[in-house]
Amino acid sequence: MTARPASPWPWRAAASCVLATALHAAPVHAQADADTTATASISREEVHALLEGLTEQLLGLQAETDKLRKIKLSGYVQARFEVSEASSDSVRVSGSPAALTVANQSRFFIRRGRIKLTYDSSPRSQGVVYFDGGQDRTVRLLEAYVTLKDWWTPMQDHQLTIGQFNVPFGFEIERSSATRELPERSRAENVLFSGERDRGIKLEDQWTPKLRTVVALLNGGGVNDPDFANTDPTRGKDFVGRARWSEGWLDVAGSYAFGRDVVPLSGPDVWPTRERIGVDAQWFFTLPRLGGGSLSAEGYLGHDTNADSLRTLVQTVNVSATQQARLLRPGADASHLATDFQGGYVMWVQGVGEWAQAVVRHDRYDPNVDMDHDQYARWSLGLNLFYDGNTRLSVSYDDIRTEVAATAGRFADPHDNLWTFQVQHRF
């Protein structure tokens, strides 16, 4: 018989005590037959008192465990071995002043080592702190926020969050790296939302079971901003909004972000406008014999500060023995610091039974639509094997197509394709 009855532990403990007391009382019965009734009566009272005492203790213990239950600890580890075509046994010295450049890209490393602490202080509020200690072994704060939930809807459909959290833009960002089917997000998302998180306030509303909206006011630069990771130089805040319509088998969403960036210079700074528009859709289906699958697509376009333009148009010069200045190069046009961009991806994920999953994705990113030879394109293949409910083994191959200047005005695709072998454990 394999069916097992539910047996809540306090009552199991109480039953054990009753049994132990009854066994203890048995010899007394045998030795004092004449006083059987009195002994039985006393034993029953004793058992009753014991049970009452136990119940009180258990209620006290339960109050304590109820408090502990409000704390939830979760996280995951992603350990990797990467093999790149760019691998080599050398360590090169280059640049002036000389700097060590690690050339070998075939290596073991920890991509993500994350731990998240959630405290559900009451049904109406929640606090979260989330850390990552992967990559360079520096522990950094990923997220820290307080969420206030409404008290007037049964499913708490309206929530206000304040702190540092994921920017509510696009489908890739809202999905955890622990559930995503390929090791890394698309190039466009990585460039436009480096770090994926920012500080601010957001309001989430589930208007109907199918319609969800999020609006947010954010500092704007994101947590990986090279100049202003912890501050916001602009008084105005970035606006980000997202609306999703979900049919279950087909989801469609649109995202919009608007704000201002700042390029700090010695002298008047340049304040490019930042505008991003995104649309995404996911179609879910089931293939006979294989299982669940999905076809996803996401596209971005807009106008934003361009890292290549910054490198090309801005220079740092020595103005004295101890001072440097950051200036526009002679003849550079400040309006060219920001450019029109576009990017996106198409991805097919197919379950192969319940314990394996195959993935194909093509993603592209063009940081400046008015310029040639700066496009990035990539084909990614992936296979995930689910070892158990917590552990996933993954292998993926990225065929990366970029162009670098070669001889005589020609361009070539560098050898930088990448194999990734990863084991992930989630808890």
The binding site for other proteins (CB under 8 A) comprises: 1-6, 8-11, 59, 62, 66, 85, 122-124, 151-156, 175, 179, 206, 209, 246, 248-249, 284-286, 291-294, 349-356, 358, 381, 383, 385-386, 388-390, 395, 397, 399, 417, 419
Using the minimum distance from each CB to other proteins, give the nearer residue, 285 or 411. 285
Using the minimum distance from each CB to other proteins, give the nearer residue, 270 or 418. 418
- Asked if 100 contacts 126 with a C-beta cutoff of 8 angstroms, the reply is no
Using the minimum distance from each CB to other proteins, give the nearer residue, 4 or 373. 4
Q: Provide the 10 A C-beta neighbour count for residue 26.
A: 11
Q: 382, 391, 302: which is closest to 342 by C-alpha?
A: 302
Which amino acid is located at 69 in the chain?
Answer: R
DSSP 405-417: E-GGG-EE--S--
Using the minimum distance from each CB to other proteins, give the nearer residue, 47 or 381. 381
Measured distance CA(93)–CA(91) in Å, rounded: 7
Minimal distance, residue 363 CB to other proteins, in Å: 17
Minimal distance, residue 106 CB to other proteins, in Å: 14
- Backbone phi, psi, residue 189, to 5°: -65, -40
Using the minimum distance from each CB to other proteins, give the nearer residue, 154 or 226. 154
Minimal distance, residue 270 CB to other proteins, in Å: 41
Provide the strand spans (E) within 43-154: 71-84, 91-94, 99-102, 107-122, 125-132, 140-149
* Cis ω before 97 (30° cut-off from 0): yes
- Paired strand residues for 245: 211, 252
Minimal distance, residue 5 CB to other proteins, in Å: 6
Using the minimum distance from each CB to other proteins, give the nearer residue, 222 or 351. 351
- Asked if 104 contacts 123 with a C-beta cutoff of 8 angstroms, the reply is no
Q: 141, 172, 109, 135: which is closest to 421 by C-alpha?
A: 109
Minimal distance, residue 383 CB to other proteins, in Å: 5
Minimal distance, residue 187 CB to other proteins, in Å: 20
Alpha carbons within 13 A on the beta-carbon side of 309: 22
Using the minimum distance from each CB to other proteins, give the nearer residue, 1 or 23. 1
Using the minimum distance from each CB to other proteins, give the nearer residue, 6 or 98. 6
Minimal distance, residue 287 CB to other proteins, in Å: 10
Minimal distance, residue 409 CB to other proteins, in Å: 27
DSSP 332-383: --GGGGEEEEEEEEEEEEEESSSSEEEEEEEEEEES-TTSSS--EEEEEEEE
